[in-house]
Chains A and B, each alone.
Chain A
Amino acid sequence: MSERGGIALHCTLDGAVVERVCDELGLAGLLPGVMLASLVAPGSERKCERFVSEVRERGAAFHWELDLPVAGGVATLSFAGIRQEGSLLLIGARLFDDIFALYEELTRVNNEEVNLLRRAIKERVLMTQRGAEASALDELSRLNNELVNLQRDLARQNRALERLNEEKNTLLGIAAHDLRNPIASIKGHAALLLEAELDPEQRRRALEAIGRVSEHMLSLVNDLLDVSVIESGRLELRRERCDLSALLERRVEFFRLLGERKAIRVVARLAPALELAVDPTRFEQVVDNLISNAVKYSPHGSTVEVELSPGERGAQLVVRDHGPGLSEEDQRRLFGTFQRLSAKPTGGERSTGLGLAITQRVVAAHGGTIAVASTPGEGATFTVLLPDAPLARPAPTSAPAAVAIARGPIHVLVVDDDEDIRLAVELALSLEHGFEVCPCASLEAALEALAQFAPDLLLLDVEMPGHDGPSTLAALRQDARSAAAPAVFLTARAEPERAAGYRAAGAVDVIPKPFDLQTLRDRLRASLRGQGS
């Protein structure tokens, strides 16, 4: 039996030998009270302790290989054990199958306890297998759940994309429709001007109408561009420390004048000198939208209230009107794009249907929130909460080298391949004293013109065939006669990132097209004073 051979022990829960059920190995020192771990070969003690604790904790353990000292060396035995009430039965044999052979052997001596043990072990083996099956099933369920969750997310996102696409289509449709009307109006007035015999007053009215309608078209296109920039997540805030109180003061003053036409009083209660890190241009857009809406929908003779106060971690802006208010349905749709609500402007003002959508997104980009509270018939209150934010880097320093304010007329060298723009600039600047303009259609023409024209200022188109703004400027800088004149770029694409690039290329200001004439004049003067904005 020396090649086979096994051992069966009855131990305490700690692994101390209580009695020797069977020992075919002749293990030395196998006496009651001795710890089994002290009987195994050196190096196997800890493993033996783990085996005992596994049997104790789990009720059964199988296939534990332990080294035991036997006559003539060390034998590796496969151990199995079960816990029975307050004790452990541990069995070791040279091979796992031998454990069962050992049982057979023991059964022959009709050891009732061992019979019980055998039955118990068989049950355990079965249960362990079942347990393994169950945990495999659990694992499958887990995988399945993960898949279903993914599918759920996909279905949700799919739906969101569909909705977005629908919204885009609607937006496009409405935009096309909204642009067609003003174009028809411009076309009509232009035809009238060309064909009909109009007296000066009628001509003026027709031109004013064109101007007004173009203005509206421009704001619609600007709003659309804003929406597309914001929706695509490309809205970049240029935060700087900004005195909100002063900014609001200015805007409130402006809307006071506007409100006077409808005898609307704009009342402001502004906390003094409230500073926050915001994008001033974008914040002004928010302020303008809210106050102009309030004025737009307020009845004659009513009051619009504007309040600025320190918020919990920033500022709180409240704009309150006493207009018709908003139904619950309107309040829900308020911040969507092109939402036509039931309220109508009280002075025939126009609306692009995008203002509040933009406002909400700009506020959100600042990490703030906007909410509306309203009872139909009693006006509406918009509350903006704006948190402060640390500045990533110091605010950019203002434009380079100031140039002495020119005395006498300002000589402006204009380079633009678009004849209409050259004409518009020329008209705009010549209508007012103080400017002298030299319009050129190309860089080559400009270099030629320098022989007769000493420019104080360069006004350059950014997109010309063969030359962009920076390369045109670089070429002009090579010529001593135009090397020092400050340069202003004109462009239809004056997004902040591009504008920053143009400034880096040497422009003191970047004026977006289309521009209104007064803005052009003001900004050219400012550029010459070294205050390009």
Chain B
Amino acid sequence: MDLENLAQQYLELVLAGRRQLASTLILKAVEEGTPVKAVYLDVFQPALREVGRLWEENRISIAQEHLATAVTQLVMSQLYPRVFSSERRGLALVATCLGGELHEVGVRMVADFFEMGGWDTYYLGANTPDEAVVAELQRVNAALLGVSVTISSHLARAASLIKRVRAQRGLERLKILVGGLPFLAAPELSGELGADGTAVDAAGAVARGEELVR
């Protein structure tokens, strides 16, 4: 089955709330050789974007949107044994998200991509306090911080988090990547916030992250 087809079927199943079938569909595809990265990028991502669009058009309820996201998270967690199996390279990423609960899934996908690239990743839940982020960065001796910003009104908070992290002794060499909707429209915002770079998707984020820590 091609990925577009897979994404379409998956979307239909999650909108109908049929989580068992949705999960079987994906696990079977992976079993048959579809790479996990392709499932993330070409199935989960377009399916969830479509869910968001349908909600905006008032064609599905907010409950359906939440359910679709929850089902996707469940299926993702079933893929974790494959995500966490690559060789470690001694590089650590801490990722966090500023904004709504529904958007956490995106930045976790990014973290999983880093994990598949041999990084050790530590995902902090949405809206973790700045101090806790700093503490985690120090605890795991992180090389990279990933900050996802879901809506423009949270840009100021991202700026203050970055400023706080930059001011911390011992974190001078840390690189910071930002991502999320506001940066798709205006990538130059990343520099203005004091970050080292941004990317349009999970694969791009890993490429940029590798460049930064090289």
Contacts and interface: CB of A to CB of B under 8 A. Distances in A.
Interface stretch (B76-84, B152-160, B186-194): B76-84
B70 A152 contact: no
A159 to B, nearest CB: 4
Interface stretch (A133-141, A269-277, A404-412, A458-466): A133-141
Given A133-B63, A134-B62, A332-B89, A145 B101 contact: yes
A144 B81 contact: no
B73 A144 contact: yes
Contacts of B207: none
A187 interface: no
Interface string B46-90: 000000000000000011001001100110110011011100111
A132 to B, nearest CB: 12
A148 B108 contact: yes
B66 A152 contact: no
B179 to A, nearest CB: 18
Contacts of A137: 62-63, 66
B84 A142 contact: no
Contacts of A155: 77, 80-81, 83-84
Nearest to B89: A332
Interface string A102-146: 000000000000000000000000000000011001101110111
Nearest to A142: B101
Interface in B76-115: 76-77, 80-81, 83-85, 88-90, 100-102, 104, 108, 115
Main secondary structure on B side of the interface with A: helix
A148 B77 contact: yes
A458 to B, nearest CB: 50
A151 B100 CA distance: 20
A228 interface: no
B40 interface: no
B126 interface: yes
Contacts of B104: 145
B35 interface: no
Interface string A142-167: 10111011011001101100010000
Between A140, A145, A158, A159, the greatest number of chain B beta carbons within 10 A of the residue's beta carbon is seen for A145
A158 B83 CA distance: 12
Contacts of B100: 138
A133 B69 CA distance: 17
B125 interface: yes
A35 B179 CA distance: 51
B69 A141 contact: yes
B123 interface: yes
Nearest to A140: B66
A78 B126 CA distance: 39
Interface residues of B, number: 28
Contacts of B69: 141, 144
B62 A133 contact: yes
A134 B76 CA distance: 24
A163 B120 CA distance: 14
Interface in B127-164: none
Contact of B84 (A141, A144, A145, A159): A159
B63 A141 contact: no
Nearest to A137: B66
A141 B123 contact: no
Nearest to A159: B84
Main secondary structure on A side of the interface with B: helix
Chain A contact patch, size range:
20 to 34
Nearest to B97: A145
B70 A141 contact: yes
B14 to A, nearest CB: 14
A159 B121 CA distance: 13
A334 to B, nearest CB: 11
Interface string A320-333: 00000000000010
Nearest to B90: A332
A141 B65 CA distance: 10
Contacts of B66: 137, 140-141
Given A155-B77, A155-B81, A145 B126 contact: yes
A152 B89 contact: no
A463 B73 CA distance: 58
B80 A152 contact: yes
Given A137-B63, A140-B66, A141-B70, A149 B125 contact: yes
A141 B101 contact: yes
A145 B120 CA distance: 20
B84 A156 contact: yes
A281 B73 CA distance: 51
B108 A152 contact: yes
A300 B74 CA distance: 61
Contacts of A138: 100-101
Given A133-B62, A137-B66, A140-B66, A152 B101 contact: no
A151 B85 CA distance: 15
Given A134-B62, A137-B63, A145-B125, A151 B77 contact: yes
A152 B63 contact: no
B127 to A, nearest CB: 10
A238 B108 CA distance: 43
A144 B125 contact: no
A313 to B, nearest CB: 11
Contacts of B81: 155, 158-159
Interface string B171-198: 0000000000000000000000000000
Contacts of B63: 133, 137
A355 B84 CA distance: 29
Contacts of A140: 66, 70
Nearest to B65: A137
Interface string A494-513: 00000000000000000000
Contacts of A148: 73-74, 76-77, 108
A152 B77 contact: yes
Nearest to A141: B101
23 contacts: A133-B63, A137-B62, A140-B66, A140-B70, A141-B69, A141-B101, A144-B69, A145-B73, A145-B104, A145-B126, A146-B125, A148-B73, A148-B74, A149-B123, A152-B80, A152-B108, A152-B123, A155-B77, A155-B81, A156-B84, A156-B115, A158-B84, A159-B81
Identify the 5 closest CB pairs spanning chains A and B, nearest first.
Answer: A155-B80, A141-B101, A159-B84, A137-B66, A148-B73
Interface of A: 133-134, 137-138, 140-142, 144-146, 148-149, 151-152, 155-156, 158-159, 163, 332
Given A138-B100, A145-B101, A163-B88, 8 more contacts: A141-B69, A141-B70, A144-B70, A151-B77, A155-B80, A155-B83, A156-B115, A156-B120
